């Protein structure tokens, strides 16, 4: 029978890193959700004709198993997002969309490679911070 003895140096650091990964990933997702929420607020039109603005009505980010959500209860939000204005051409619309949000609000954000890249970078940055904080 052959016996092998293996010694691993630095295993404690690796184990410490592995312990912080789930929380670090969650924190990165939370940061990303907050960033997307802020971008959605900024992309939402402000009407000069109403006191209540859709831009001010975005709810807080809520964490769920497997992701997050936030919503806007304004009754015309679907029109803004889907470009369903009945008058396709008016001073305030273009092709059924608000001129302030051509193509909608969330759709263009989640289809923008630059936005998605920045969100991925936020997750990685948070992972790195948490790993460094753990001393791994």
Residue among 130, 124, 106, 123 at smallest CA distance from 40: 106
Show the low-confidence residues of the chain (pLDDT under 50). Answer: none
| Amino acid 83: pLDDT | 84
Domain residue spans of the chain: 13-43+55-71+104-133
Q: What is the pTM of this model?
A: 0.72
| Amino acid 10: pLDDT | 65
Q: Helices (H), strands (E): how many in the chain?
A: 4, 5
| Amino acid 49: pLDDT | 64
Residue with tokens 């929380």: 23
Phi, psi of 23 (to 5 degrees): -65, -40
| Amino acid 40: pLDDT | 93
| Amino acid 72: pLDDT | 92
């Amino acid at each position: 029978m052959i016996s092998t003895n293996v010694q691993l140096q630095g295993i404690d650091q690796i184990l410490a890193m592995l312990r912080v990964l789930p929380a670090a990933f969650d924190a990165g997702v939370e940061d990303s959700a907050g960033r997307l929420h802020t971008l959605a607020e900024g992309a939402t039109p402000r009407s000069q004709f109403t006191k209540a603005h859709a831009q001010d009505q975005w709810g807080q980010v809520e964490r769920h198993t497997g992701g997050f959500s936030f919503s806007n209860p304004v009754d015309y939000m679907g029109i803004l997002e889907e470009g369903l204005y009945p008058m396709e051409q008016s001073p305030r619309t273009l092709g059924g969309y608000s001129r302030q949000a051509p193509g909608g609000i969330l759709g263009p954000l989640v289809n923008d490679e630059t936005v998605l890249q920045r969100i991925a970078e936020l997750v990685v940055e948070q992972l790195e911070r948490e790993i460094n904080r753990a001393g791994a």
